[in-house]
Amino acid sequence: MSTWFTISPWIFLLVFIIVTPILSYLLSRTNPPKRPELPIFDLITEKDRVLILAPHPDDEALGICGILQNAIEIRIPVRVLYLTYGDHNELAFIAYRKRPWLSPQINRNMGEVRRREAIYAMAYLGLPEDNLVFLGYPDYGTLNIWKNHWGKAPPFRSLLTNVTSIPYKSSSSYGKPHKGEDILADIEQQLLGFLPTRIFVTHPVDGNPDHRSFYLFLQVALLNLKNRIPIPKVYTYPVHMGRWPRPHWYHPDYWLPWPRRLTDENSQSWTLELSQENVNRKYETIKLYKSQMSVSRHWLAAFARRNELFTTPQSLNLLASTSHNYHTLVVPTASTSDYEKIETETRLKSVSYQESEEGLVVKVGLKGSIEIEVEVVVYLFGYRYDKAFVEMPKICVEWGLDHLHVTDQSTPIVEPPVEIIRSLNEITMVIPWLLLGDPEILFVQGRYVRGETPVTRTAWRVLYRKYV
């Protein structure tokens, strides 16, 4: 028995490394994707200053290497800001080190490996290390920080590095605690110091939590600096979008198809066509991330295609209703790709937000009746221009047939003033404006949860109140 447990990680790793590429290669023999029917992205110009936000080292190479090549070629100011050192990829680290165990110190060392890979990769493109900024916040922990670690809340402890502050002396933020206000301050410092005209960041519906959080922190930073810097154009680029992109492996003559998850009528979308030289150079750049290529070569190589994709998610207003004294916004139903569908069948049909005098009315439409083991979860983070975001409530409402839990970050609210109205296939929540901090803007997300697993979740949305 002890022998089995000793060798089983090696067996698993061997099977993964051998079988996955074979399956991916077989899938790559399918018909090649067609060119996405999207407008052509406007190339950056000599007047631009480009800021790239990469949650992990390699995201910038996967999503926007064509933009980087264009910016470097015309010699405009470019800066890449890395949120984490990417120190939470256990399988890749085991394969890269060829040893079936890890420790907090090993993971921190691997974070430094990934930082050096980024430096080498960007140098290959012609971008020197002085143009790269590494913050070093916890990989796979920044969305948790966004939700629960502001103000008086304790800093987040990283599971694999076992620290509550940035451990990397090479980081520009060395020693800072894993707190939301510190991430926000660091992003604002970069915006103030660099004054970008264009910003590229990962999408709020991305499957990786750090990718979603970087977008959210950026939105708050831009709100805070609204009257202090010129308003930059913000674009998102896709990375973790379910099983996308297909087929895997390096197909330099293939088009990168539009991810189904990003089909959203409220977003502007573009495609950027790359020359063959750009595609080849992108592939060579991706290959320099050797620690990640050790297990994900077939997937990473699939990003080196004839085009790159960008979108601009739109902030939404709570729209006026003529028949009622409130304002309504309906988020697309679960049949659209605004939702991350983790199961084939989902019971979440739609989420709508309504502005009333009593408070924010959230209606969650369901397919079928509520089950005892599931719950509806809604996150509601308010923003006001006259109050620091760290001081605003960050409310989470969790409702099930046998419970109602309301927390501000992780702190329970006793006898919460939240009204719940339930019908057979709709849950209506009325959350008082006072509980939300009487916000002018809201960051919202809805989830349908079975046990501890989100079955369906909406993208995070930014909602503007029409009447405050």
User: So what's the pLDDT on residue 326?
Assistant: 37
Domain(s) labelled CATH 2.60.40 in the chain stretch across 316-464
Q: What is the DSSP letter of 227?
A: T
At 360, is the secondary structure helix, strand, or coil? strand
Q: What is the DSSP string of 418-445?
A: -EEEE-SSEEEEEEETTTTTS-SEEEEE
What pLDDT, in 10s, does the model give residues 75-125?
999 999 999 999 987 777 887 777 776 788 888 888 999 999 999 999 999
* Residue the block writes with tokens 């996955």: 20
Upstream peptide bond of 245 is cis (omega within 30 degrees of 0) = yes
Distance of alpha carbon 199 from alpha carbon 309, whole angstroms: 14
SS3 of 342, please? coil
pLDDT at position 455 is: 67
pLDDT of residue 24: 55
Cα–Cα distance between 4 and 48 in angstroms, integer? 58
* Strand, helix or coil for residue 240: coil
- Give me the pLDDT at residue 347, please: 66
Nearest 5 degrees, angle CA 281-CA 87-CA 410?
Answer: 125
Beta strands in 228-275 (DSSP E): 233-237, 268-273
CATH 3.40.50.10320 in the chain, residue ranges: 8-312
Which of the listed CATH numbers 3.30.310, 2.60.40, 3.30.70, 2.40.160 matches domain 316-464? 2.60.40
Upstream peptide bond of 247 is cis (omega within 30 degrees of 0): yes
Q: At what angle do helices 290-300 and 2-27 cross, to 10 degrees?
A: 50
Domain 8-312: CATH class, spelled out: alpha beta
pTM of the model as a whole: 0.88
pLDDT computed for residue 92 by the predictor:
76
Is 68:96 a contact under the CB 8 Å cutoff? Answer: no
Whether the CB-CB separation of 442 and 463 falls below 8 Å is answered with yes
pLDDT in the model for residue 286: 98
379-436: per-residue pLDDT in tens? 999 999 999 999 999 999 999 888 899 999 989 999 999 999 988 788 899 999 999 9
| Cα 346 to Cα 335: distance, rounded to the nearest angstrom | 9
Q: Which residues of the chain have pLDDT under 70?
A: 1-30, 101, 263-266, 319-347, 369, 372, 451-455, 467-468
Q: What is the pLDDT of residue 160?
A: 86
pLDDT of residue 412: 96
Neighbour tally for 383: CB within 10 Å: 20
